[in-house]
Chains A and B, each alone.
Chain A
Amino acid sequence: MAKKILLIEDDKFLRKVIVRKLTADGYEVIEAIDGEKGVVAAREGKPDLILLDLVLPEIDGFEVLAMLKKDKETFKIPVIILSNLGEKENVEKGLKMGANDYLIKARLEPSEIAERIQKILNQE
């Protein structure tokens, strides 16, 4: 059965590119366009992994991560932060809050993101 990835990303264009890549790699992808919808989708959709943007409307990615890690339904789901906030403080904060990895979009290609997803899923 295909592994399910939840993508929480507000940028339509970036969402489209990632969804295309992950779908081509055989994943099932569910999309959420903001933090609030992302938390709901995580609870209801039971994804195997969450790709989380940080700069999101209303609730930001850090708040989403805190909510996911507090909730007994979602705290075990691995989270990869996928953001363009590249500052060391943000990276350290994200990892300290329980993210499994922190990727900076502009420095990576979709195939590298897919590799990191695969690596974490293999560890689970």
Chain B
Amino acid sequence: MFWKKKKSNKESESQLYENDITITRYLIDGLLVFDSENRLFLINPSAEKFLEVREEEVLGKTILELSRFARFAPLASLLGGGLEEYFRKELAFNSNLVLEITSVHMKIEGERVSTLVIMHDITREKLAEKMKAEFVTLAAHQLRTPISGVKWSLKTLLDEEVGKINKKQRAIIEQAYKTNNKVVNLIRDLLSVAEIEEGRYLKKLSLWNIEDIISSVIDGFEPQLKKKKIKIKLQKPKGDLPKIMVDVERLKVALNNIIKNAVRYTFGGGIITVLLIRHEKYIEVEVKDTGIGIPLSQQNKVFTKFFRSSNVMKIDTEGTGLGLYIAKNIIEAHDGRIWFESEENKGTTFYFTIPIKKQYGEFLTEEFY
């Protein structure tokens, strides 16, 4: 230790050990140290408090033996008998105790000599997040109520249910209606962003056929495609594609946001191609448009919040600038990757991947994206 005065080797080693023990005793984080045989070698007072055990009853035991203690059980099931490595994995014991677990293998010449398990108390942060989430939900609700009233009233006027309107009046009311809808979309997107930032984005994972998801999203664009005379071609490899483990509602949102941009910014009469490619461990989706493209100087900002490119701002006022940020987060939450290529006035291609997993939690070991 660098703060120690120079002493003889033995004296120095024993003093260092005492210093280490003292430091661990005063650590606010909980600390467990397992030896090379995965037996508990050290537990500090914070860990005793978190796990509701006393040092003398747990020292020398393996993680499996420790799982008999109620509070150790969830930790044991996370780490497993082999004490896997984790980085900042959340473990909620109840609403009054949420710990962030980091486990590290300490190695000498490639051989594991011990495993450190650090438990950081994040209960207050989680509570603050929960309160923020509740506030955002309530605020969105409170905002939506008057906006619904405005929307419905404007629609009543536009439908001439309370009397005729002239051409000029219609144009003004239509503009107000569109602007109001933009606020509706903005609230929807802000809620998604709030959920993303709270890390509670994927909710229900199940096996789905990607082609079905894409087809259902494309169907939703039928009126706009007809209006702009744009064609969408869906190309897929021969044979059935493997199913993917996804939160289907979220993945539809991501796809919808990508295809919506392609439809919005493709010139009338253009073509959008959606291409599905099967790779060994993942499925790649490409959405290629023949639209206005993204200026090169702004391409590094495409996935940031509220980004709207300068050429888009001139022709479209409806976007919220949150769609691609949301799409990126959804794809990445599925352990996929998203990127794009674009040339101004020629078009843009968005690519994303979704890993082929049989079940949730089955992470692929090889880097493939």
Hey, which bits of chain A sit against chain B, CB under 8 A?
Answer: 11, 13-14, 17-18, 20-21, 24, 55, 84-89, 104-107, 109-111
Contact = CB atoms under 8 A, between A and B. Distances in A.
Contact of B147 (A86, A88, A106): A106
B148 A106 contact: yes
Contact of B161 (A24, A84, A106, A107): A24
Contact of B149 (A13, A85, A111): A13
B141, B148, B155 — most chain A CB neighbours (10 Å): B148
A20 B149 contact: no
B151 A109 contact: yes
Identify whether the interface residues of B are mostly helix, strand, loop, or mixed: helix
Interface in B168-193: 184, 187-188, 191
Nearest to B158: A109
A14 B161 contact: no
B183 to A, nearest CB: 9
Contacts, number: 56
A17 B144 contact: no
Nearest to A17: B152
B148 A105 contact: yes
B24 interface: no
Contact of A106 (B144, B156, B203, B249): B144
Contacts of A89: 203
A20 B162 CA distance: 10
A29 to B, nearest CB: 15
Contact of A14 (B141, B149, B184, B187): B149
A88 B200 CA distance: 12
Given A20-B161, A106-B184, A107-B184, A84 B148 contact: yes
* Max chain B C-beta neighbours (<10 A), residue from A11, A84, A87: A84
